[in-house]
Amino acid sequence: MDRIGVAVIGYGLAGQVFHAPLVAATPDLEVRAIVTANPERRERAGRNFPDARLLATTDELWNSAAGIGLVVVATPNHLHAPQAITALDLGLAAVVDKPMALSTVEAGTMLAAAARTRGLLAVFQNRRWDSDFLLLREMVENDRLGGLFRIESRFERFRPEVNSKSWREETSPEAGGGLLLDLGAHLIDQVHVLLGRPQGVYAEIAAARPGAVADDDCFLALEFTGGARAHLWMSTLAPSIGPRWRVWGGREALEVWGLDPQEAYIVAGGRPGDAGYGLPNGSQRAVLTRGGEAGPRHEVPLPAGRYGDFYAGVAAAIRGESPVPVPAQAGWDVLSVVEAARKSAATGTVVPPESAPEGA
């Protein structure tokens, strides 16, 4: 069976570290074109993918898309909607890096384009395949914890100075910058997988570092039907890093410390399929506790992370063999919470997210 040709638009952190390597590691996919206007990145792409076409503009791709079946949009956030819609209008499948768009309005136009063209549109939420999240999902599905009462989830870092070379830090939230759209999109999506859409959102959002124009310290409290709650933190100002997860059930609680090692492994040149890829490397620790302070505590093994499953699922979906691994509607759902969070932070009130589009 012929491999599906892939064009990757953008060769910054997302395109270079995540998308292109994961596509290349997927047997049914092949990187055939890379689009970047940056000469240094184009030279790097040529070294990494010598058989791929190197293009300076998306117009070059749109005017000559022969051999391409999938377009990966790994550009700054404000370009996601127009580039994905163009790909769909040309009859190409599209994967869009998170966040899907700048707003639910933009995301709605993308959903409409996918419906109009009957095209495949997926959102890249690789952290559904983090080792810690795989462990948590398995425990929830097997009712190991006794339901879900409270979820605490964190992405905390200590970077007290604004990075002037990062568009995410130098761009206003309205134009696509900030932690809420970046790390927050991951945390919100993971909670949606576990608990569904929330009914209320409370948020505290700040651009706290000197000279910051984008949010760099955020807290969200999400309320769910049935009483479950999720508390989400994302910050670049944390001298002390909290647990990645702290999850309570009716019987047991799970704590996970440290981050999934897959990103660091890929940065170092590793790929899915390599011996040892995704396996625990000592950077994480998962602990189960039963019955409070006096109850037993014991460490549990973490599974291997599996970022490669996303693009394997995309390839299968293009061939009509399985559903889209992260459908576009999931991207709209995340943005509805982001927008509710911004309203909450501005008013100091709990805000219900916008209802999903009809038929979602």
In this structure, the dihedral spanned by the alpha carbons of residues 344, 184, 339 and 84, taken in order and rounded to 10 degrees, is: 180
Contact status, residue 9 vs residue 30, Cβ threshold 8 Å: no
pLDDT at 358: 65
Task: Say how far apart CA 55 and CA 49 lie, in whole Å.
Answer: 13
Identify the sign of the CA torsion 211, 213, 217, 219. Answer: positive
Other C-beta atoms lying within 10 Å of the C-beta of residue 316: 15
The pair of three-digit structure tokens given for residue 358, joined into one six-digit string: 């009809």
Distances in Å between the alpha carbon of 358 and those of 82, 108, 200? 23, 11, 20
In this structure, the dihedral spanned by the alpha carbons of residues 271, 264, 338 and 223, taken in order and rounded to 10 degrees, is: 100
53-55 and 297-300 as β-strands: parallel, antiparallel, unpaired? unpaired
pLDDT at 276: 87
pLDDT at 6: 98
pLDDT at 294: 65
CA atoms within 13 A on the CB side of 241: 15
Task: Say how far apart CA 326 and CA 329 lie, in whole Å.
Answer: 8
Instruction: Note the pLDDT tens digit of each residue in 165-180.
Output: 888 888 888 989 999 9
The CATH homologous superfamily for domain 4-126+310-325 is NAD(P)-binding Rossmann-like Domain (3.40.50.720)
Which of 304, 23, 15, 252 minimizes the C-alpha distance to 144?
252
Task: Say how far apart CA 292 and CA 169 lie, in whole Å.
Answer: 41
Domains of the chain, residue spans: 4-126+310-325, 127-306+339-347
pLDDT at 140: 96
Contact status, residue 52 vs residue 30, Cβ threshold 8 Å: no
- Non-local (6+) Cβ contacts of 274 within 8 A are none
Token look-up 């404000």 returns 78
Query: With a cut of 70, which residues of the chain have pLDDT below it?
Result: 1, 293-294, 358-360
245-248 and 150-156 as β-strands: parallel, antiparallel, unpaired? antiparallel
pLDDT at 269: 86
Running DSSP on this structure, what letter comes out for residue 128? G
pLDDT at 165: 80
Q: Which DSSP string do the residues of 246-299 spell out, in sequence order?
A: EEE-SSEEEEEES--SHHHHHHTT--TTSTTTT---SS-EEEEEESSTTS-EEE
CA atoms within 13 A on the CB side of 297: 10
Matching fold, domains 4-126+310-325 and 127-306+339-347: no
Instruction: Note the pLDDT tens digit of each residue in 18-55.
Output: 999 999 999 999 999 999 999 999 999 999 999 999 99
Task: Say how far apart CA 184 and CA 24 lie, in whole Å.
Answer: 27
The pair of three-digit structure tokens given for residue 159, joined into one six-digit string: 């970077």
Q: CB-based burial of residue 101 (10 Å sphere; 0-12 exposed, 13-18 middle, 19+ buried)?
A: buried
- Non-local (6+) Cβ contacts of 168 within 8 A are 176, 177, 178, 182, 214
Identify the sign of the CA torsion 120, 124, 130, 135. Answer: negative
The pair of three-digit structure tokens given for residue 342, joined into one six-digit string: 């911004």
pLDDT at 275: 87
CATH of 127-306+339-347, picked from 3.40.50.970, 3.40.718.10, 2.60.120.200, 3.30.360.10, is 3.30.360.10
